[in-house]
Structure 1
Amino acid sequence: MLLFFQENCSPPTITLSPDESKHLIKVLRKQTGDEVIVTNGEGKLFHCLIQSPLPKGTSLKVIKEEEIPKLPFEIHLAICPTKSPDRMEWLVEKITEIGFDYIYLMKSENSERSFLKADRLEKKIIAACKQSLQFYKPEIKSDWTFEQIVTSPDFDGFQKFIAYVNENHQNHLLDLALKNRNYLILIGPEGDFSPNEIDSAISKGFAPVSLGKNRLRTETAGLTAVQMLQVANR
């Protein structure tokens, strides 16, 4: 299945963006009457026929519409951006393929980077959704501080975790993650969270967890956490 992406679309016709149209017409050589499958990133799947194959705005006629059920759990990853933006782009691409819902770009006391271009991450997410046939597009939340994350009422009722380097961790993430829950997990920078941040999170209901015996890079820790939460819901 070749999947195309178009936000804010609805029957009876869909007009693809110039980028999607160019790929459809110039690269794939699709023509009038050919079938195209489109998602809006919000769980809708549209089976369409090409009406006007224009590289700057192909028009499609919707012939069938499906509603893809959402999974009974959500994964929210709050992570401190790495110094290298390439490593964060790699992360969002891979966790999109695995499956997650929200990523919060968080600033902590030891953050290496305070600014990251969310539009580049957005493009990586859309491409990964299409490649891995994901019908719900994960969302990027920028400019959050550690304190905003740990005190936000948005996460009331979530299972909340903080992962950091500690040889004396009593619990592995897989030991504590319950099935079919909403999760928020905090991943710190290469310098890790400060002791004050760790104490603050724990005092606000975050469970300290290990991701394994090895010391992981920030982006590897983020990927590992998302994978483990998916495994917990297998």
Structure 2
Amino acid sequence: MHIFYTPDINSDTYILSEEESKHCIKVLRFQKGSLLNLVDGKGGFYDAIVEEAHPKRTRINILRVHQNYGRRNHYLHMAIAPTKSIERLEWFLEKATEIGIDEITPVICDRSERKEVKTERLNKVITTAVKQSIKAFHPKLNEAERFSDFILKSKHSNKFIAHCIESKKLAIKDQFKLNSDYLVMIGPEGDFTSAEIDSAMKQNFVPISLGNSRLRTETAALEACFEINFLNR
């Protein structure tokens, strides 16, 4: 099954972008009459056929539309401190998209080693993972925000902050509510500061533990992503 990401599709015919057309015709060797699938990132999954096999502007006809394809029973927002090595953040975005995630916000913390995030490349990583894992919903990647600003705006029903400081913490499963919306915050390699944790708790974030092992930022975020998806099965 070959998937093409077409976020602006709005009719029974569609012209693939030059990049996608080249991939379709030159790489995959599709011809007129070849069957393929499209996703719009908003839940639409399309069965389609190549009408005009052009290496720069391939024209597609839509055969069938499946709405809310693969919709999950919950909403997951991960707020993660961007890693010093951007490749590690890219790895997380790829794997989290494959497992199931709805929204990601890079959060700049007091101990963050990376203070800026360019979202264009990261969105491409997400799009590739969407196509690879056959997802009709494209996760939303927000611009980076300061920790102090972010915690004041969060409106989710279940808000968690994972940290390593010795204190009272719960496992996700002990605070879990089925089929709900969740926000999980994961700090930088040096962890959140005590002041940041206190500030989050004042905004009704629940401190959680992700086990006894000391995890890298991207591993901790993926662990939380997997656990919430698993509990919602």
Name the TM-score class by shorter chain: over 0.9
Equivalent pair of 1:32/1:52 in contact (CA under 8 Å):
yes
Moved more, 50-59 or 188-197: 50-59
Name 1:55's counterpart in structure 2.
Answer: 55
Unaligned 5+ residue runs, structure 2?
Answer: none
Name 2:220's counterpart in structure 1.
Answer: 221
Moved more, 97-106 or 47-56: 47-56
1:168 and 1:107 map into 2 onto residues whose CA distance is: 23
Name 1:82's counterpart in structure 2.
Answer: 83
Matched, 1:6 2:6: yes
Give 1:170 shift: 3.6
1:136 and 1:73 map into 2 onto residues whose CA distance is: 13
Q: Give matches, 1:80-229, under 5 Å.
A: 80-152=81-153, 155-229=154-228
Q: Give matches, 1:39-50, under 5 Å.
A: 39-50=39-50
Give 1:157 shift: 4.5
1:198 and 1:170 map into 2 onto residues whose CA distance is: 12
1:157 and 1:32 map into 2 onto residues whose CA distance is: 47
2:206 and 2:40 map into 1 onto residues whose CA distance is: 35
1:106 and 1:141 map into 2 onto residues whose CA distance is: 10
Helix, strand or coil for the counterpart of 2:7? coil
Residue by residue, what CA displacement relative to the aligned partner does 1:117-156 show, whole Å, maximum 9, x if unpaired? 211111111111111111100011112111122110xx33
Label 1:28 to 1:157 Cα distance change in 2 as closer, same or farther (>3 A).
closer
Helix, strand or coil for the counterpart of 1:91? helix
1:167 and 1:19 map into 2 onto residues whose CA distance is: 51
Residue by residue, what CA displacement relative to the aligned partner does 1:168-205 show, whole Å, maximum 9, x if unpaired? 44411222121111000110001111111100101110
Name 1:24's counterpart in structure 2.
Answer: 24
Equivalent pair of 1:169/1:210 in contact (CA under 8 Å):
no
Helix, strand or coil for the counterpart of 2:63? strand
Using the size of structure 2 for normalisation, the TM-score is: 0.96
Equivalent pair of 1:178/1:232 in contact (CA under 8 Å):
no
Helix, strand or coil for the counterpart of 1:142? coil
1:18 and 1:149 map into 2 onto residues whose CA distance is: 38
Query: How many residue pairs get matched?
Result: 232
Equivalent pair of 1:83/1:112 in contact (CA under 8 Å):
yes
Residue by residue, what CA displacement relative to the aligned partner does 1:45-90 show, whole Å, maximum 9, x if unpaired? 1111111111212110111111025323110000110100110111
1:140 and 1:188 map into 2 onto residues whose CA distance is: 17
2:211 and 2:86 map into 1 onto residues whose CA distance is: 25
Moved more, 212-221 or 70-79: 70-79
Moved more, 167-176 or 61-70: 167-176
Helix, strand or coil for the counterpart of 1:208? strand
2:80 and 2:18 map into 1 onto residues whose CA distance is: 33
Unaligned 5+ residue runs, structure 1?
Answer: none
Equivalent pair of 1:164/1:210 in contact (CA under 8 Å):
yes
Give 1:115 shift: 1.0
Q: Percent identity?
A: 39
2:156 and 2:40 map into 1 onto residues whose CA distance is: 28
Helix, strand or coil for the counterpart of 2:126? helix
Helix, strand or coil for the counterpart of 1:150? helix
Query: What is the Cα-based RMSD across aligned positions, in Å?
Result: 1.2
Using the size of structure 1 for normalisation, the TM-score is: 0.95
Equivalent pair of 1:125/1:137 in contact (CA under 8 Å):
yes
